[in-house]
Structures are given as structure tokens and as C-alpha cells.
Copies of this chain bind each other. A is one copy, B any other.
Amino acid sequence: MAKGVLTPQAEDFPRWYQDVVARAELADNGPVRGTMVIRPYGYAIWERLQAELDARIKQAGVRNAYFPLLIPESYLRREAEHVEGFSPELAVVTHAGGKELEEPAVVRPTSETIINTYFSKWVQSYRDLPLLVNQWANVVRWELRPRLFLRTTEFLWQEGHTAHATPEDAHRFAIRILSEVYAGVMVDVMAIPVLVGRKTDRERFAGAVTSWTCEGMMGDGKALQMGTSHELGQNFARVFDTTYLTEAGRQEHVWQTSWGASTRLIGALIMAHGDDAGLRIPPRLAPVQVVVLLVRAEDGAGEAAAGLVDELRAAGHRVELDGRVDVSFGRRAIDWELKGVPVRVEIGPRDLAEGTVTLVRRDSGDKQPVAIGEVGPAVGRALTGMQEVLLAEARRHRDARTVEVGTVDEARHAVQEGFARIPWAAMGSDREAVLAQSGVTIRCLQQADGSLVTDPAAAGVVALAARAY
């Protein structure tokens, strides 16, 4: 229906992405290089993601807090691998209050260093553990090749930071966040069948011992890292001297985790489900699940539309009324398709005279007349159905574009279409580095059956190779 509004995906996928972001009014470029303005509709999606993530994070026993944006430059320098990883991306405040600062302050790229400064004060004994904290915040990492939502100089995220008494406890918690919180929201709410696995040493977070990741396949077959959970070991605890008194009376360093998911998830949503008519938002995530579109305000159609909105809201759906009858019907229909609203209910005087409305599903484009008394149940069924269909479609797409290969050359070829699964023993760090030069990376390591890898050197470990955003 919306032909010509967007560049077709098959013609130019990156251009299609840009078109959707602009036309669905999700975001604009900011004036400072790589920054972005998240427009109300884009932000409404983010608020829904926040709500879903936040509820699960709290369910895991984590409490929200807030740590300062500005970090003394010296803090980042304390952990060698960490500063090396972030130095090229830092934004630095050198002047404030009309004067040059004695010590420059870094705009946080992530908060391990400042949070450990406080953990080391707050943790005294084993009774204080585990300490489970999360913050919703903005972070800044200077981007040379920015792309809205996917790579931006400033982005919004949550970053969780925890301290534990044992490495086993830290490991279990990192995995719990990865599977229950991240994969939970991504699969059950976003309808994206992410692969869960372990990062290679090359792709590990700067300062972590082990990094875990959720990787989604986008519409063009490329991978997107959607959330990561890190075991930090005692790296930061040693540097910031975060110790606790054990039950046996010894002083020991704590074992830590950190984990984050960001506004990049909006990019994943766009690219995992979008089509040539625009966004397609899974109903559980959609800020607007149903739009009631008034065709013309004649013969009681306006009243019928308002009544339907009330009825659908009372049933617990998120509903918007489009009564802009001075704008053409076609233009409005295209607009709601662009915005990916799952169900459209069209009410016009002609249908109404026959006691029906037209129900249009965004996933399939199916239109059907529905008796006005049946709209409530029909909308409920459509929302449930579309949630399932989008997940099933995404799973089929992913599986169809994933191939098993035995050599690096085969992998290099296969990733032009999607994911390549290759025995890690046939790959290894050296070949991984070579492959990376042509833009192909190992997204994660898994057991052959998709389960989590304990020892990357063990037999049967499979590497997932892909081009990635």
C-alpha cells in the first residue's frame, strides 16, 4: 500500500532503514556528530522496552540507582584493558564553571569504574552480598560512523552492576540476566529469536573475563548484538579494592558482573520485522496496538469510533483514535502502516450502515469485515496471532539463512546471505582475526545444540560467523 514511500529493502537495505526512521518519525540526527534526537513515537517504543526490561530486572532482585555522568579521567586509567578499549571513544570535559578543570572529567562511556568506587565503600561483609544495582542512563562513545539507534555518540541504556561472594554466584547471575531478562524480552516481547552465546576473547568487553551476548538476525541476514552480560571476575575489585569479610573471617575481593541493553534495540526492532511498507511492531511491544481510523465523520461513525476506542481500552489494549477526517484516508492508512501499528480498525458510514467495520492486520495485510459487536474478541485474536506470526517468521528467516560450514572460506561465502556455523576448532583466534579484516566477525560460541559454552576449547564448540551492525 505504501509503495514509493520507502526505498524497497531489496534495492538498498540501509537506505530503507534510514527511510523508516525518518518517515515513521522515530529519530533525527543531532547537531553534534553522531548524536540523535529520539522523537515521541520512537521514545514511546523505548518506554515500552524500558518497562519490560525494568520489571524483569527488579524481579531478579536488582534495585535501580544513579551514578554521576562525569568521571575523573584517572578512574578510567586504573584498569589497563578497560581504558585501552574506551580511550578512542571518550568525550572529555576540560572546562567548567568558567575555568579549566584541574583534572579533566570524562563523560561516562560505561560506569564500571565509578560504580566500583562506591561498591568498595558499601560492601563490608558477606552479609552485604550479592549487591545488585542497575541504572537507566545516557552514555557517550564518540562514533566515527554513526547510524541512528545502531551506533550513536550518545545512547540511552540500562547498565547493571553486581558484586558477589563467589565466581559461581557471579556466573549464575550473569547468565540469569542474559536468559531471563534479555532473551526473555527479546523473544517473548520483541519476537526476535536471538541466539545466546559466549563472546570470543577478541570480542570480549574491555575488562571482562567472559562476555555473553544475545545476537539477532536482521532482515538482510546481518547480525546485531542486542544485549551483553559480562563476568568481570575480580578485575575491577582488585583495582578499586572492593573487598568483603567472608563468614570465615578473611578479606576477599568480590566477583562482579555488568550487563547492558540500549536504544539499539529499537534498531533491532526495525530491521528484524520491518517490510517495504515500514515498521511492524509485535503487539506486546507496540505503544499503539490498535488504531481506530474514522473514515468520515458522518451518520454516527464518529460516535461509533469513540465507543469502540473506549471498549478496546477497557479490554486492556493500547488504542489510539485517528479522527483526522480532513486528511485523506489513504494517507492516514499509509502512515499507520509506516508506524507498524498491529491492528487497524476502519470505521466508515457505509460499513457502519451494514453493522460492520474493517479490521486490517499489519503483519499479513489481511482485511476483513467484522460485525461491530465482535470487534473486541477479533482484535484480541489478531493481536495474539500477530505476536506469534512475527516470531515464527523471524525464526524461519533466521533458520533459512543459517548454514553449517566446515572451512573459513565457506564461512566467508555463506555470511553474504546470513549466519555461518563453523566448528570453533576449524576457526580459532588467528583465522578469526583474518576474517575480521573483511568485516566478518564471530558473533558468539555455542555448543552444537545451541546451549552455553563452558570451555571454548572443548570439543564440539561451534562459532557463529556473520557480518554485523
Residues on A facing B (Cβ under 8 Å): 28, 30-32, 35-40, 42-44, 46-47, 63-72, 75, 87-98, 104-105, 107, 114, 117-118, 121, 133, 137-138, 140, 142, 144, 153-154, 156
Q: Which residue of B lies closest to A105 (CB)?
A: B32
Interface contact A142-B97, CB-CB below 8 Å: yes
Cβ contact of A40, chosen from B37, B63, B71, B90, cutoff 8 A? B63
Interface contact B71-A28, CB-CB below 8 Å: no
Interface contact A37-B118, CB-CB below 8 Å: yes
Interface contact A31-B72, CB-CB below 8 Å: yes
**Known contacts A37-B65, A64-B40; A70/B117 CB under 8 A:** no
Q: A69-B138, A91-B93 are in contact. List 18 more A-B contacts (CB 8 A).
A: A31-B68, A32-B70, A32-B72, A37-B66, A37-B68, A39-B65, A40-B64, A44-B64, A46-B66, A47-B64, A69-B154, A70-B153, A87-B98, A88-B97, A92-B96, A96-B142, A97-B144, A137-B138
Q: Which residues of B contact A154 (CB under 8 A)?
A: 68-70
Q: How far is the CB of A93 from chain B (nearest CB, A)?
A: 5
Q: How far is the CB of A313 from chain B (nearest CB, A)?
A: 14
User: Once bound together, how far apart are the Cα atoms of A433 and B415, in whole Å?
Assistant: 72
Q: 16 A-B residue contacts at CB 8 Å?
A: A35-B70, A37-B68, A39-B65, A42-B65, A43-B63, A44-B63, A68-B154, A69-B140, A87-B98, A89-B97, A91-B97, A93-B93, A93-B107, A95-B104, A97-B142, A107-B107
Q: Which residue of B lies closest to A141 (CB)?
A: B97
Q: Which residues of B contact A89 (CB under 8 A)?
A: 97
Q: Which residues of B contact A65 (CB under 8 A)?
A: 37-40, 42-43
Q: How far is the CB of A134 from chain B (nearest CB, A)?
A: 9
User: Once bound together, how far apart are the Cα atoms of A114 and B36, in whole Å?
Assistant: 11
Cβ contact of A70, chosen from B66, B91, B114, B137, cutoff 8 A? B91
Q: Which residues of B contact A87 (CB under 8 A)?
A: 98
Interface centre among A68, A70, A87 (most CB of B within 10 A): A68
Interface contact B96-A91, CB-CB below 8 Å: yes
Q: Which residues of B contact A97 (CB under 8 A)?
A: 88-91, 142, 144
**Known contacts A30-B68, A31-B75, A63-B40; A92/B94 CB under 8 A:** yes
**Known contacts A107-B107, A138-B138; A35/B94 CB under 8 A:** no
Interface contact B95-A91, CB-CB below 8 Å: yes
Q: Which residues of B contact A36 (CB under 8 A)?
A: 68
Q: How far is the CB of A118 from chain B (nearest CB, A)?
A: 6
